[in-house]
Structure 1
């Protein structure tokens, strides 16, 4: 008789301690909403390329702002009890002490790259509402073209005093940001093989 894989015996809800005990490789593939594990789909090569290049452009722009950090594949915690965390494709956040967790209050901008056939509703409705409720000031949604070979558009949202996002700019050929970092990058630079 063979033993069942460890993940088949997972509880229906997990705590912060349960999450910390999970293998790091497994944690990279999930998000947790109100203690429930949500498996994340593997992104396309274009998705990864665009996210990586956006992170690089932001990283280069942060030089005058040394206490802002830029990361991909990092947990942004909304709460510990029940455990809720998301993994935006790119995050700009205020500097943390070594070993300190990133909570939503420390994030100044999150970016999600939408794959047309998989994450559209999650990124444009669910995550948009969650990031706004958490008070993250800037949210960018990057839309990939239907053919999956180009960036189609980038929507730039700013948090309003009422706690909802307002579309302030629709970028169609290049991303020109003034805040939280100054960035000017052409879509072709983000998507080119």
Structure 2
């Protein structure tokens, strides 16, 4: 699909049309609507999956009252006109019960993205998604950056941006502040960087 040029501030497609397109997309294609543009999200590789499992186990051990939901679709950006498929969404257990494919982000404590080795990682994972999650008021965004061997914790969302950003090298002890309140020992991430 070749992106259609768009006027700044106007989405490429209506949200309803995007949701229908995403529903009909083949299983091997995962679509998102970020910054008003349709994006194809790469399929995860084995190391990506191992990082999600590592983080899921950390969350379960330290916060059994919460669950990390992989591949959760969220309504993000101002007025919920974006649709992002997170690598992980941390929320109270049973939080998404009864919600559809694209859930309201209210009550989500943290979103997680793990970089993929593709051409769009810089824009998608390091710029657009943090802004979308901040605009949705999600308290914490965690980026596991396999290209840079870093874990970046974004907190304090205000006016569509995270006010506090802390970056740590793989191997560091990373504190995820309230409302998440966990500590990640990231040495093991070195095994899954490539």
Q: Give me the TM-score of the superposition, normalised by structure 1.
A: 0.71
After superposition, residues 12-31 of structure 1 pair within 5 angstroms as 15=16, 18=20, 22=24, 25=27, 29-31=30-32
Give secondary structure in 2 for the equivalent of 1:104. coil
The equivalent residue for 1:105 is 106
Structure 1 residue 116: Cα displacement: 5.2
Aligned ranges 1:1-193 → 2 under 5 Å? 15=16, 18=20, 22=24, 25=27, 29-33=30-34, 37-63=38-64, 66=65, 68-78=66-76, 84-94=82-92, 95-96=94-95, 98-101=97-100, 102-115=103-116, 117-118=118-119, 119-145=121-147, 152-172=149-169, 173-192=172-191
- Take 1:123 and 1:129, find their aligned partners in 2: how far apart are those partners? 10
Partners of 1:127 and 1:73 in 2: how far apart?
Answer: 14
- List runs of 5+ in structure 1 lacking aligned partners: 1-6, 147-151
Q: Quick check: 2:135–2:158 contact (8 Å CA) kept in 1?
A: no
Would the aligned equivalents of 1:90 and 1:112 in 2 still touch at CA under 8 Å? yes
CA apart distance, 1:127 = 0.8
For the 8 Å contact 1:14–1:36, the answer to whether it is kept is: no
Secondary structure of 1:15's counterpart equals: helix
Report the aligned-residue RMSD: 3.3
Q: Shift in Å at residue 113 of structure 1?
A: 1.2
Q: Is the 8 A contact 1:31 1:85 kept in 2?
A: yes
Aligned residues: 174
Q: Decide whether the 8 Å contact of 2:109 with 2:139 is kept in 1.
A: yes
- CA shift, 1:178, in A, is 3.6
